[in-house]
Amino acid sequence: MLLLFCCIWAKTTAAVTLWPSMTVPFVVDPVIEDVSDRIISLDNALAHLSRVTCLSFIQRTTEKNFIIFSELSDNVPCWDVLSMKGGEQMVNVGGNCLEPVKLPATVTRIFSDCDLQKVQYLYPCPGILPVRPSNCTSIFNRVNNVAASVVPCDVEDPDACPYPTYRNNTLPVGSACSSACDYSGRLLPLLRSFNARLGVSDHFYTTDTVTDATMTAGGYLEEDPVGYLGMEGPSNSHCTCLRPLFRLFHPVINNHFYTSNETERAGAEALGYQFERIEGYCAAEPACGAYMPLSRFFSPLASDHLYTTAVEEVTVLKSILSGYGFERVECYLWQYESANRACETLLH
């Protein structure tokens, strides 16, 4: 299998000219720019790519080679942005390639794991481990993407899933939490949304679907959930290292802040943060089936705390001038709704 991978990749890289400095200058055709639903969905798609890959998109100034996002005919492949063709390069992001989005709305992720793997393969962020995805769909270079189907990667067809994914699923050994894989409490997804409005710039996280819906109705864009939190705390017999994840809010600087540390919570309250609620419980160490580190970042300029479990996003935030500084791993979250699934997946 490795051999097959090597040759497909070699073929792919030989065929493309990469964008210098992993940077794509672009302009937007008025056909897209002038329709608000379309420009919102294009902005959202570019934000998604920039957030989880090291490829960046900048408004063209004087660059000779650049792309023009436009609506082209149905048989022109979608999102043909990964190679530089030279000069003006028309790229199809029309109705077949990208659904228009109205605000406020639930914006789902635009690019699949396969797409992100492909970007990472051509424009590698440093220090990311390759893992094979379980399913593959791609919107890059597909014609009539809307109908693109899921290809399971267990088929013996290397073309189905030609690129590695980038999650670090190595199980750490040893645990002071009493169980490596078990937790008997209920798990709920920690939902994530973001308000990018100037002067707000706030990441919001909750396990409460009603509050999440209220935030998205009020202008927060739904993003990928970051993982699962436990609903039962330190009394859980399988897992003895659980901590509450406190949600606090500072109304003046418009910042939601989350911590699993009591002392820090008290310190924040002294600075004007108001305690809102416990969102759930996470593990102090990787154990109990909770193996995803929740990395915490802060942007002083935007007064915004950002929390993520996505290895790609952590790498991008750390490796470019994102404005966000890494603070620490807050605690560990579950990757699946069933606590021991991480162990089953990894140990097979």
Cα distances from 340 to residues 179, 244, 287, 289, 319, in angstroms, run 10, 20, 10, 5, 32
SS3 10: helix
Q: By CB under 6 A, how many residues form the interface with ligand NAG?
A: 12
Indicate which single residue of 7, 103, 106, 152 sits in contact with ligand NAG (rule: CB under 6 A): 152
Least distance from C-beta 137 to ligand NAG, angstroms? 9
* Tokens matching residue 322: 């994102």
Does 172 participate in binding ligand NAG (rule CB under 6 A)? yes
DSSP 253: T
User: Does the protein bind ligand NAG through residue 129 (CB under 6 A)?
Assistant: yes
Main-chain phi, psi angles of 306, to 5 degrees: -130, 135
The one segment of 48-56, 165-173, 187-195, 207-215 that binds ligand NAG by CB under 6 A: 165-173
The yes or no reply on residue 235 touching ligand NAG (CB under 6 A) is: no
Using only the alpha carbons of the chain, give its radius of gyration: 21
**According to CB under 6 A, which one of 168, 237, 319, 338 is a site residue for ligand NAG?**
168
DSSP code of 334?
A: B
C-alpha pair distances (Å), 278 with each of 12, 166, 203, 230: 48, 31, 17, 11
Q: How far is the CB of 251 from ligand NAG (least distance, A)?
A: 23
Residue closer to ligand NAG, measured from CB, 46 or 125: 125
Measured CA distances, 107 to 11, 44, 194 (Å):
35, 8, 11
Whole-number minimum distance, CB 284 to ligand NAG, in Å?
Answer: 7
338 touching ligand NAG, by CB under 6 A: no
Which span (116-124, 257-265, 268-276, 338-346) binds ligand NAG, by CB under 6 A?
257-265
Sequence-distant (6+) residues with CB within 8 A of 187 are 228, 229, 230, 231, 334, 336, 337, 338, 339
Closest contact distance (angstroms) between CB of 79 and ligand NAG is: 22
Site for ligand NAG contains 261 (CB under 6 A): yes
Q: Which range in 18-26, 157-165, 168-176, 203-211 contacts ligand NAG by CB under 6 A?
A: 168-176
Tokens of 36: 């608000």
When the beta carbons of 68 and 131 are compared against ligand NAG, the nearer one is 131
Phi, psi of 82 (to 5 degrees): -80, -20
Q: Does 141 bind ligand NAG (CB under 6 A)?
A: no
Q: Which of 127, 218, 234, 272 lies at the binding interface for ligand NAG (CB under 6 A)?
A: 127
Name the residue among 182, 132, 189 with its Cα closest to residue 290.
182
The span from the CA of 203 to the CA of 223, in Å, is 10
* Residue 159 CA neighbour count, 13 Å, CB half: 1
Give dist(CA 132, CA 165) in Å, integer.
5
Under the binding rule (CB under 6 A), the answer on residue 319 touching ligand NAG is no
By CB under 6 A, name the one of 58, 103, 150, 347 that touches ligand NAG.
150
Nearest-approach distance from CB 311 to ligand NAG, in angstroms:
7
Q: Which is nearer to ligand NAG, 195 or 260 (CB)?
A: 260
SS3 of residue 313 by DSSP: helix
**Residue 146: how many other CB atoms lie within 10 Å:** 12
- In angstroms, the CA 299 to CA 310 distance is 18
| Contact call for residue 134 and ligand NAG (CB under 6 A) | yes
Q: CB 328 → ligand NAG: shortest distance, Å?
A: 9
Tell me the window of 16-24, 80-88, 258-266, 318-326 that interacts with ligand NAG (CB under 6 A).
Answer: 258-266
Q: Which residue in the set 135, 178, 240, 254 belongs to the binding site for ligand NAG (CB under 6 A)? A: 135
Q: Where does this chain bind ligand NAG (CB under 6 A)?
A: 127, 129, 134-135, 150, 152, 168, 170, 172, 261, 263-264
